[in-house]
Each structure stands twice: as C-alpha cells, then as structure tokens.
Structure 1
Amino acid sequence: MPVSTTIHRPARCRLSFLVALACLHMAAQAQAQPEPSLVAAAALPEVVVSGSRHEQVADELPLSYDVIDARTLSDGQVRNVREALQDLPNTSVKLLPSRFSVTGVTSATGRDGNTGINIRGLGGNRVLLMVDGVRLPRSYAFRTTVFDRESLSLDLLKRVEVVRGPASALYGSDGMAGLVHFITYEPGDFLKGRDGQPDKTLAGRIAAGYSGDNHGRSLAGTVAGQASETLQWMVTASTRRAHELDNRGDVDTPDSRRTRANPQRDRDDAVLGKIVLAPNVGQRHVFTLEHVERKQGIELLSSRAPLPLVGTPAQIAGAITGESSERSMQRDRLGWNARFDLDAPLADQVQTTLAFQKADSRQVGTSVRQALPLRIRDNRYDEKTWQAGVQAGKLLRTGDWAHQLTYGFDHVNSRITNLYDGLNPAPPEVFPLKRFPDTRETSSALYLQDESIAGNWSFTPGLRLDHFSLDVTSQAGFHPPARQPGTSLSGSAVSPKFGVLWRATREWSVFGHYATGFRAPEAGQVNGYFENLAEQVVILPNGDLKPEKSRGVEFGVRGRLQQLRLDASVFSNRYSNLIMDAALIRGTGTAADPRVFQAINLERARISGFEVKGRYDWGQVAGGKLATSFAYGRARGRNLNTDAPLNSIDPAQLALGLQYDSAAWGFALDARHHAAKSAKDIDSSTAVKPPNTQFTIPSATVFDASVQWRVKKDLRLNLAVHNLTNRKYWLWPDVYGLAAASTTNDAWTQPGRSAHVSVVMDF
C-alpha cells in the first residue's frame, strides 16, 4: 500500500493572521497610551527564576547566568535560538543545512536541523530546555532518523534565561551541562503602565518582518485584556514563511557536486493563550494553552547522482535521480500554574504546576532511482508528557541569619513511541517496524535549597533526590523479529550543590559554586535495534547503561559600577559514564563478521575555561547615550580515557558591540570574532572515518549593523545588515563530521551579506 508523503496543514494555523488583523483594527481605534513599560528602568534590579526556582535578584545568584529580554529579541529581529544566544560566551547552537540522503547511505549530515544547545563544551540532550517550567521534548537520534529540539516560537517569548554548569540539583535529569529556560509573555506585560501597575483594559502588539538571507516573512500579533479586577487574558499568534538559508557556495549543479543550498520551503505557526485569575491578593492562577507547528519541504538536489551515470549495472540501476523530504513537528501544551500565600508554619507560599504536553515529529523521504522501485522512508517520533510539581518557600530568621528555604516535589511521566514505515525496506527489515519498543519514562524527585544570608555573605546549599525508571510498555512492532526483547531499567541519583556569595563592597561581589548533574539513559540508547545485511551493520541494545554524571566548580566576580557592568568567571567540569551512542564493539564488516555497534558508558572528560562579559556606558554623546558591550569565552576539554581533545568544544569567540541611543534613533554595530579550529584541537579518529581527517575552519570576523527609528513612542522600525563585509566563513558546530578532502564543504558556509527589516507597534 503506498505511503502518502503529504503533510497536511491544519486550518487553525490561519489564526495567526486573524489575530494580527484584530490587532490592527484595535490599534487604529486605540487612543494614545503611555509608552509600554516592557523595558524595565535601568535602576531596577534584574530578576530571574531559573537559578533558584523562585524570583530572585540575578546578581544575588552564586553562579553564572544570562538573560536575553524581549526588547533584545524584538529589536535584534531574532528568528531562532542560535541568533538569540549568539553573543553569549562558550555557548553555541548547531544549525545545519538540509543536505543529506533519505537513507543516509551517503550522508546524514543536515538531517537533524537544530539538534540543541552547547554550553561550555557539552550539548544535545545534556542541556535541559524548558518553557514556563515545562520540559521541552528531547532530540531523538537513531542512525538516519533525527528530530531536532527547536519546538518553540521566539515570537511568544518574554525572555530567555541561561544557567551555566550542572543544574540537576534543582531540575534533575538532562541538566548536566546547563539549563535554558524560555519564558513566555503574560497579559500584565502589555497592560501595565510606567509604574508597573495595570492601567489599560486593552493592549497588544503587532510585529512584521522580512529577512533577506532566507526570503523569510513573519507576522505576529498579541491582544491582551483586563476583563475584571481579578481576570486578565491574552492571545498571541505568529506565522513565518521562508525558503532555504543562503550560503556562500557557488556550485549550482543539481547533483552531489552542489554547494548551493537545496531548494526549501519552511512554514512555522504558533498560538499562545493565557488566562490569569487572581481571586484575592494571596492567590494567583495562570492557565496556558500553547500550540507550535513547523513544516518543511526540501528538494534534495545534492543527493542526486551526477549525469551521465557511471559504474556497474547495479550501481547505475540504484542511482538516485530525484529525492525529496517533508518534515513536520507539532507541540501542544496545556498548563496550570498557581501560587498561594499561606503564612503558615511550614510555608509562606506554595506554588503548584500541572502540565500536559504532546509533541509529534515526522519525516517522510522519497527517493526515485534509475531502474529500481520507488523508495520511501516514513519516520515518526511522539512524546506525551504529564508534569506535576509542588514547591514551597519559607523565610526564617535566627539572630543575624536569614534563611530562604525552597523545597518541593517534581514528577514527570512520558510515553514515547516511534514508527518506521515506507516502501522497499532493507532486508531483513519488514515495514512497519519500531526502532525501540513503546516506552514509559518516569521520574520523581524531592529537592531542598537553603539560601542563608548573614551580613555580606550568602550560602546556598541544595540537594535533590531523583528516582527514574524506563519501562517497556509494549513489544508490538519492535523490529520484528528482534533478536532480544526490550528491557526496562531504573535507578536513582543524588545531586548536591553549594554556593557562596560575598558582597565585598557595594560595587563588587565574589562567588563560588559547586554543583553536580546527571542524565538518565534514553529509550533509543537502551533498546535501539538495527540490522542491515547490505551494509553488514548491526546496532544492539544495551540494558545495562548507567546514568551520565557531572561535577562542576566555578569561581567568579561581579562589578556593578556607575558606568561599568562586569562579570568574569573560571570553571572546571568533570564528566563520567558519558554514553557513546554507537561505539564499534566488534566486527570487520563482512557477511561472516558484521560490524556491531552499541551504546556504552565509555567516556570520561574534563572541560575547563573562563568567561568575561559586560557593558561600559560612555555617557552622553551628541545628544544620545553611547555604550560598548563585550563578551569573550574560551574552553579546553579532553577525553580522559584517550587524552585526545574533545570535538564538542567550540573555538573561542569575542563579541563586541557599540550602541548609540537617542530619543528618536538607535544605532548598533556588532562584531563577532570566531577563532580557528585547528587540527591539534580535533580528534579526527572520532569525527570521520579513517583515513580521512576532519575539516578544520579558519578564524573569521563578521560585522552586523542595525538602525532603529522610533517613529513615535509606540512604533519602531528596525533595519539591519548582517555580514557587512560579505565574509565567507564556517562555524564549528555545523562542520563537525566533514572530511577535509571533501569538495563540497562550501555548502556549510554561513550566509553572506543580507538585509533585514521589521516594524513593531504597541497599542
């Protein structure tokens, strides 16, 4: 029975346009209002929640953090997570071009899109991603099937908080390398006036933009209202349409010699709805509904065989003459967050969380071969997750000491399924099948943190006890016939942490932090099974995997002077039981001795480095304010088993910015210097197949310029030019796994010079 390759687009996505039109209508009728106070006054301290699980002045945290606020995202015309985090030291996002073959025979590079965020040399699922306290789906990777992690829309975000280093003491599994927390808007962000109190009954925002490097168009609209003294509501919708991201490749042939980007069409739609109910001063409820979907169609010209076809009759018959891929991702979240002020002996305040999230991903690849039947691969990966939590806070005073206790309980239950279908499977496989059996992953945890303050000192010990289990719920469809059934496993982890902060003066503070992290094995690693007789390859499951672990130490200093804001830190992290997903354990690749791969606990690693970031205000210049921002980070890492360098370490990056702001105009010039990745910093043996060596990248300096015209207090026009000098360059996260001898490495270059424009109107 043929497999359909059409991915239907639900009609509800048109809500994006309807909300934007409603915004335009109400904006035209709205009277002039005071300028929205979405940007806090400079004198107000920055407050974050991710570093301690409760609202806290950021500078009181004994650890490194970053906050990207809504104005930075909007004015910077940020379209994806990479752009949002691009100026943070020792932080990167892998964002590959769509250049692969459907079955992965030639290359799977580019199949995975945005596979995750790298913090201080470690990334992927080892960095925990959350939205409003709810865990985002993991990236799933099994041989030629990969689904990425960017299942959110930045148009919905109020800010992004980044915690560097192990975060499992507060958030559990997957917080080995750090945490990135995406926090969405609430109605009050639009309804409040200059004094921070609600002074509008109806407000909102409209934003539209165009990006020259992918011919992308975007439209977003928000409407927020005050229905009564106790009820607020908000609806935000956004839509984007784009094509392939440009590069500096110049070979335009429709075959494997191609270095230009493959033709591509993207469609992203998102809707966020919130109701905030505050029946009295001691109670607050937030009900959230979020829907995000992304669709992508790719014409894989780069996987076609060059003409005229050459080779043996069998090679010519199997040559690819046409190939395409369709991808879709949909994530739905329904959540309830509540806060109760109790003033009880055990708690001053209790917060509760209950959320359901459903994420579906699908990839459909179609291959037309010269003389062989049509080949289709239809891959699906689904997660359904319930998350519940109760957190209490209590302030205690004993003599000169004050203690802010935070304690609670977390529970997460996820049901994970996959399905591999299509036409013409590779023997001995029979479609449909499952790469691993249906699985239920659960985790339950108790945590406690005490922020103790005495004079100019703060001490923050914390402890979390986690129990996790991975249970096979059904063997049906598991690679029939699998050589062995799927296995279940369970385990526990204890994650302590301890932080110290000393306020040396009003302007300077010093901090130190020790933290641990862990990551439980995943379903695909424990039970993933694959067998291909044509390639003489077998991938075996491993039910004996142990959790990965990390231990990190950090010391830092903060300066908050009248004109200078400075943060500097040094860190050292050790990792053990790191899971290598596909380690070759035996075999030569013959029919009698196939190559056998398995996920195993093998690697131990150490990563250390430093980071410096800040801002200097020059004061009044020519009627406006002039400031310089800076950020620099560098890390080194080694595999302690082999003493080889870690390929996951990014080269050093220096980011410099010059900003000028007056009442009507703003101007910014940003420079980013990416250091080279040389051969001595690469372990080629684990990057590419011998005798090949890994492709290295030269250093590069790239300049961006932007101008903002504040037409009036509630209307902003942003113009930007990226890569002013049209520099040809590569970024290390994108080229890992490319052979130096390849003639198509220009396909992984970054876009050249491009123009971007957006307009934002508040009402």
Structure 2
Amino acid sequence: MKRRCLARLRATVRVTPVAAVCAALCAPAIANATTLAALNEVVVTATRTEERADAVASTITTRDARQIQRAQPVDEAGLFADEPDIDVPRDRRRFGAGSINIRGIEDNRVLQMVDGVRLPDFFNGGGPSNISSSTRDAPEFSFLKRVEVLRGPASSLYGSDAIGGVVAYATKDPSDLMQGRKVGGELGLNWNGIDNGFGQSAGVAGGSDTLQGLFMYANRNAHEMKNMGSDASTSVNRTRPNPQDVRTQAWLGKILLNASPAHKFKFTYEHRDGNTDTDLLRLSTALPRVTAANGNEDLSRDRVSLGYEWKPASGVLDRLTAQVYYQESETTTLTNQVRSNTSTGCSATMRGTSLCNVALGFAFKQEQTGFNLQGDKSFATGGVAHRLIGGVDFMRVRSSEARDGTVRNLTTGTTTKTLAGENFPIHDFPTGETRQTGLFAQDEMRFFDGRFTLTPGLRFDHYSLSPDGDDLVYNNAGGRPAVSKSDSHLSPKLSALWQASDRVNLWAQYVFGYRAPNYQEVNGSFRNPVQGYGAAPNANLDPEKSRSFEIGARYTGDNVQTSVALFDNRYRDFIEQVQLTCPSDPACLPGLRATYQHRNQTSVRIYGAEWRGVWRFLPQWRIDGAVAYAHGNNEQTGQPLNSVSPLRASAGLTWERVQGQGAAIRWRGARPVTRTDDSSFTYFKPAGYGVVDLQAWWRFNRHVSLALSVNNLFDKKYWLWGDVRQTGVSAAEPGVDFYSQPGRTFAASLKLSF
C-alpha cells in the first residue's frame, strides 16, 4: 500500500525530498493539522449545540487562536492553506481572496458566519474591466478564538445558503483575555513578507463574575502580494504584481452580563474597514485601447448584536438562546482608465484618434436585520435518550448595486455620462429586499447505552424577493421588468453514528440541501451594445436542490487518530450563468452577438473522498496530513465543473514541548489540472506542485510568545487552479507568471499577554 501511494504521488505531483518522506507515511496516518484539535474537541456548528467532534456524523475541522497565530495567514486563502478540500481563489489583478470553496461548491452556496451572524453576500460582476467585485471579507484574525468548517449541505440546520457547507468564525470573549484574572489583555505585532504587511493589535478585558467587558483593536498596512514574475512593464505582458497599498483596521467590543445563574446577556459591536489603491499596470488583451489604469476600493462592515441565554431551573428546557442583530456592509470602487487612439465615444476596443479619461464607479451595499431563537431539551423515553433541538431563524436583507461613469474626451473637449451604449448611473439589478424565514427541529436519539445515535432533522424555509421598482436606473435589458419571487422548501436530514468500540466509530448521513436564487440571478441585467454582449434576467429560475450521501469512519487512539469520509453530492436545478444560443433562444437580447443568463442546470454531481489523521510516534513528535479528492460533472452538458480542484494533499512533521516551544515542517501539493470545461475557451492548466513551509514558535513565559515562518522554502514557482479560473486565464494569455504564487517569504509575530 505504501509503495502504491508513493508511486502515484511521484507520478502526479512534483515533490521535494521532504515531501516524499511525508508522503511515504500517508498510509498509517493521514490528517490535517486543523483536525488534530477537532478530533477530541467540542464543536458547535455540526449540530448547533455543543458536541464532541469525534461524535458527530459529519466532517468538521477546527482552528484555534494558537494555530492561527503560528500559521500567520494574511487572508482566507492562507488561513485554509493546509485544508486540501478548501480552496479560496484570489483575484491576483486587484481584489485578492474572494469566496470560500468547499468540495467544489463556492460563492453564496457556502454559509459564512461571525458569532452566528451571516457575512454579506459575495458579488462579482465579471467582465474584463474588473471593476465590480465585493468580497465577503473575513473578520480580523487576531480577534478570533476559533474557526469551524462543516463540509457538505447543512440546509436542514442553517437554511438556503448552506448548501455547500458552513464556515463559522467565533470571536474572543472577555474570559479569553482575562484568563481567570480581574483584568487581562494582549498586544500583538506581526510582519509577513508575502505582502510586506505590518500589523498591530491590542486588547483589554476585565470585570467581575457579574459584569465583564472587552475591547480589541487591530490595524494593518500592506502592499501587493508577491509572485514569481519578472516583467515590470506596463503592458499585457507584465508578470510582476500590480503595485498596491492596502490598509485595514478593525474594532471589537463586548459586554457580558450574568444577571443570574439562569440569565446571561451578551452585547457585541464589530467594525472592520479597508482601503486599497492599485496601479493596474498589467493591461487586458480584451481592452486594447486602455493604456493605463488605477483603482481604489473602500469596504466597511459594522455589526451589532444582542444575545441572550436562559437555563431555567424548572427543567422545562435545558437551554434557550436568542440573538437579534443588525449588520451593514458597503463596498465602493473607482477605476480610472486612460484610453488612447480610441473612437470618439472613447471605446475600450475600437481604434480612432481620440485620447480619453474614463472614470468608472461601482458600489454594493447590504443591510441585514435578523434574529434567531433556539431551544434545547434532553429527556428519555424508555431506553432511548433524546436531545431535541428546535428553533427559528429570520433575516431581512436589503441589497443595492450601482455603477457610474464619467467620460472625458481630451481630444474633442467633451464630457459625457454615456459609454458603450449605457447611460450612467445605472443599476444592474434593482434595489430590493429579501426575506428568509426558517423553522428547524432535530432529535438526537441514543440507543444501546449511547453506542448508536440516530438523528433525524427537518427544516422549513420560506423566502421572498421583492424589488423596489427603481426602473429609472435599472438596466432593464430587453424591456423585461423586474419581478418578485417567493418559494418555500422542506430540507430533511437523517444521520447515524455507531460507536463500534471505545476507539472506532462509523457514521453516515443523508442530507437534502436547498438554495434560493438571489437578486442578481433573477433580475440581473446588462447590455454592452458596442462590444455586442449582455446579460439577461431570468424570472423563471427555480431554487437549487441537492441530495448528499456521506459515510465515514474514525479511529481515536492514544497515539493514532485517523478518519476517512466518502461523499456523493447530487444537485438538481443548479444555477449557472451560461451563454445562450442566439438568436434562436427567445431570451437572447436583440441586436447583440452574445447573451448570458443564469439558468438551471438539470443535474450536477460532485463525489469524492477525504482522509485525515495524526500519528504521535514519540512523546514530543507527530506526523499529520490530509488528502482530498473530488470529481465534478455538469451532467446536462457532459462537461467537468471548473470549480472542482484536482487531488490535493498536505502533511507535516511537528516537534513540540509542553512548555510551548516547537517547530514544524509542512508540505502541501496537488496533481496537475487536466479536467476543465474548455467549451468557451481553452484554460491555462497549472502543473502539479509540492511546496514546503517551516514554522517555529516559542513561549518564553506566560506573557511572551513568538512565531516565525519560512514559506515556500525552496522558492518553487507554481500556480493554483483557483486563481487561474477566478480570472479566466486562457492557455494563450501572455505572461501567465503574473498569476503565480509567491516565492520564498518570511513571517514573524510577537504576542504579549498581561
């Protein structure tokens, strides 16, 4: 078995000698570093209540504050770099890390929450000008005490946008800084060579058993993320990164009131904002008249929430929790372009004799108001122990998007708000409101003295989408008015876990998923008559549905912990934006050569397998790693799913003393990209790779700790498939080194606790 495993890795992945050693050990213990803690820890996301991670019938991994500090990530792509079934594509041109991809499912199909509140939607308007994008923007990493990732459909507990999985961020509470004292705090300094970023963080907490408070602040200044390019020209051939200045800051405040042993309240305020200035020196082959450009992005997010917990002495319920919240997020971008030798109308593609300055603006805003209520109760009927969970979720989201443009023809001396047949300002979908209401219940039934657990669950969801009717600025393509939609759905679930022995458990789950179409997919519209393409709304979109079957096994020993999972996810009415067959399709926009529209795909399937574990072969030594394989097809078209990555793996060798000193050598790699949907154009297909990182950490005493990292130790040039497909890099595109990953970089962080 070891020989076959190593032979396959040699044949498909370019490995270093260190990686080969790690790969040779893959048979007895495959694991991910984030899973090490999860196997024996308590998690919440899998069941919406506290449960041991090794006793849930699903695949879930965790990262705690200590692991995050050691890894020193600068974005979500770095945070999940050692999770081979998670991909976070980066827009290397400008916007950085985008949406999280779990097992080939991404964007708004993966639920991301901070302290139980959903992060704003991901939005990407596409197009070669790359002006309209709004990322979900994870919380400040120094504020986090924990991250949990639940794989696969979770609609039976979390509703519409959890069809691909859940990423749950938990921020620190006052007790995490106080550590049993009346007052506690921390100071942090970090520097990372991946983007020459320097950050500072500070936090203080204090109080009594009755009242506690916390305040944290973080600030970071960075530059462009490095790559392995060398061409510094302003042209389509440029391979060096676009120069950037990035500034972020964040605040977190909490007040906890323990009014009585039965009643607890928590008030939370979180703020995060960022600004990025980019010189867009890599020019687009699709926009030959654009000879210079720069851009600015501003983002902000504010969240306020009030949580309540009741543990009645009467025993009517074991626990009742409730939370009300309000969150507002906004992204605005400005792109300035110089268009040379262009037409009188300042086209980005048509040749002429004019010189123009074009300013393009974009804004995306969401306001969320919501509440959730959940009750837990444990009881017994005969020889069966029950843990019943039920509750309600409600969320109202107001969404708005706008584009603006000012065109100055310096040759003719004219200024206009018209460009490429559009009159600015304009909305690509109407401002409107979405309401989602969910009722859920789950009964965890334990038989045979707790050795067998059967858990049925059911959730009812209702959503409604209502535009405001701002037709004066809505890009009403083809004269189609904005529509309202509403629908409801039942999402059942059944899972089973058998404790075969004190060390082995087997589990299986069959889960139904559901996702309602959003505002952009239903009413999104766009026309570019100059270049001859556009996007049409689709009022007939149906919600996506999924059925997921997953089985797994875990072994938890004193020195060896390992798990394996196999999954098969089938999606019906999967929503994808496709190019229509024009002019025969009645949805085609008249007068345009190409029309795009979101359509339901009859059947999409993703299946695969994952293997994790750890082997502590000496008291202070361990080996861990993970392997993830997925295969995805659009069964309606017969084409592969580009969102599915090739086989990937990670492994690590760690030495750690109880006192807090340690070091690790980590490897991660992937097979070459071979399965892509090239029906529109032929993608650039990255080769396989294997890279090595070094980490070391010291805890000098209870007050001072230091972490150091060397990433990509052997300075290897490689590409990530997620970055390539995010931008749509073709095999013929010049200067593909622009999309390469950073070479050898260094990072350091210092933390002072008091």
Question: Which range, TM-score by smaller chain?
Answer: 0.7 to 0.9
Q: Aligned runs of 1:213-612 on 2, under 5 Å? A: 213-226=194-207, 228-303=208-283, 319-343=289-313, 346-370=316-340, 371-424=354-407, 425-454=418-447, 455=449, 456-479=451-474, 483-587=479-583, 592=591, 594-612=593-611
Aligned to 1:665: 661
Change (3 A) 1:284 1:329: same
Q: Distance in 1 between matches of 2:476 and 2:381?
A: 66
- TM normalised by structure 2 equals 0.88
Which of the residues 677, 700, 718 maps onto 1:683?
Answer: 677
Aligned to 1:654: 649
Q: CA deviation at 1:399?
A: 2.0
**Aligned residues: CA RMSD:** 2.2
Q: CA deviation at 1:592?
A: 4.6
Aligned to 1:22: none
Change (3 A) 1:549 1:477: same
Q: CA deviation at 1:344?
A: 5.0
Contact 1:343 1:349 (8 Å CA) reproduced: no
Change (3 A) 1:485 1:642: closer
Change (3 A) 1:346 1:87: same
Aligned to 2:111: 128
Query: Match of 1:353, SS?
Result: strand
Q: Distance in 1 between matches of 2:592 and 2:475?
A: 22
Q: Distance in 2 between matches of 1:567 and 1:426?
A: 57
Question: Match of 1:403, as an amino acid?
Answer: H
Aligned to 2:730: 739
Query: Match of 1:116, SS?
Result: coil
Change (3 A) 1:673 1:75: same
Q: CA deviation at 1:43?
A: 12
Q: Distance in 2 between matches of 1:235 and 1:550?
A: 42
Contact 1:559 1:567 (8 Å CA) reproduced: yes
Contact 1:151 1:293 (8 Å CA) reproduced: no
Contact 1:67 1:162 (8 Å CA) reproduced: yes
Contact 2:339 2:356 (8 Å CA) reproduced: yes
Give per-residue Cα distances to partners, 1:226-259, cap 9 Å, x unaligned.
1x33001101111111000110011111222101
Q: CA deviation at 1:42?
A: 8.2
Which of the residues 676, 689, 697 maps onto 2:686?
Answer: 697
Q: Distance in 2 between matches of 1:304 and 1:457?
A: 59
Give per-residue Cα distances to partners, 1:104-152, cap 9 Å, x unaligned.
xxxxxxx553221111111111111111111101111223422112242
Q: Distance in 2 between matches of 1:374 and 1:756?
A: 40
Change (3 A) 1:423 1:556: same
Q: Distance in 2 between matches of 1:137 and 1:416?
A: 10
Query: Match of 1:149, SS?
Result: coil
Q: CA deviation at 1:347?
A: 2.4
Q: Distance in 1 between matches of 2:642 and 2:422?
A: 34
Question: Match of 2:666, as an amino acid?
Answer: D
Query: Match of 2:649, SS?
Result: strand
Q: CA deviation at 1:95?
A: 1.3
Structure 1's unaligned 5+ residue stretches are 1-38, 99-110, 193-198, 307-314
Contact 1:304 1:323 (8 Å CA) reproduced: no
Change (3 A) 1:236 1:473: same
Change (3 A) 1:190 1:428: same
Contact 1:429 1:479 (8 Å CA) reproduced: no
Q: Distance in 2 between matches of 1:602 and 1:344?
A: 52
Q: CA deviation at 1:646?
A: 1.6
Q: CA deviation at 1:428?
A: 3.0
Q: CA deviation at 1:638?
A: 1.3
Change (3 A) 1:464 1:42: closer
Aligned to 2:80: 85
Question: Match of 1:271, as an amino acid?
Answer: W
Q: CA deviation at 1:305?
A: 8.9
Question: Match of 1:174, as an amino acid?
Answer: D
Aligned to 1:201: 182
Contact 1:583 1:600 (8 Å CA) reproduced: no
Question: Match of 2:62, as an amino acid?
Answer: V
Give per-residue Cα distances to partners, 1:618-640, cap 9 Å, x unaligned.
223xxxx1111111111111111
Q: Distance in 1 between matches of 2:38 and 2:140?
A: 30
Change (3 A) 1:434 1:502: same
Q: Are 2:53 and 1:58 equivalent residues in the alignment? A: yes
Structure 2's unaligned 5+ residue stretches are 1-33, 341-353, 408-417
Change (3 A) 1:283 1:664: closer
Contact 2:420 2:531 (8 Å CA) reproduced: no
Q: Distance in 1 between matches of 2:669 and 2:594?
A: 42
Contact 1:91 1:118 (8 Å CA) reproduced: yes
Contact 1:434 1:477 (8 Å CA) reproduced: no
Aligned to 1:147: 134
- TM normalised by structure 1 equals 0.87
Q: Distance in 2 between matches of 1:492 and 1:135?
A: 20
Change (3 A) 1:178 1:414: same
Q: Distance in 2 between matches of 1:140 and 1:664?
A: 42
Change (3 A) 1:42 1:729: closer
Query: Match of 1:735, SS?
Result: helix
Question: Match of 1:299, as an amino acid?
Answer: D
Q: Are 2:743 and 1:752 equivalent residues in the alignment? A: yes
Q: Distance in 1 between matches of 2:491 and 2:592?
A: 43
Question: Match of 1:185, as an amino acid?
Answer: K
Q: CA deviation at 1:79?
A: 2.1
Q: Distance in 2 between matches of 1:305 and 1:585?
A: 25
Q: Distance in 2 between matches of 1:155 and 1:43?
A: 20
Aligned to 1:309: none
Change (3 A) 1:87 1:473: same
Which of the residues 161, 177, 183 maps onto 1:190?
Answer: 177
Aligned to 1:627: 622
Q: CA deviation at 1:464?
A: 0.1
Give per-residue Cα distances to partners, 1:213-233, cap 9 Å, x unaligned.
21110111110111x330011
Aligned to 2:614: 615
Change (3 A) 1:135 1:487: same
Q: Distance in 1 between matches of 2:469 and 2:257?
A: 41
Q: CA deviation at 1:664?
A: 6.0
Query: Match of 1:746, SS?
Result: helix
Q: Which is further off, 366-375 or 61-70?
A: 366-375
Contact 2:328 2:368 (8 Å CA) reproduced: yes
Q: Distance in 2 between matches of 1:591 and 1:349?
A: 59
Contact 2:70 2:708 (8 Å CA) reproduced: no
Number of positions where the alignment pairs a residue of Structure 1 with one of Structure 2: 685
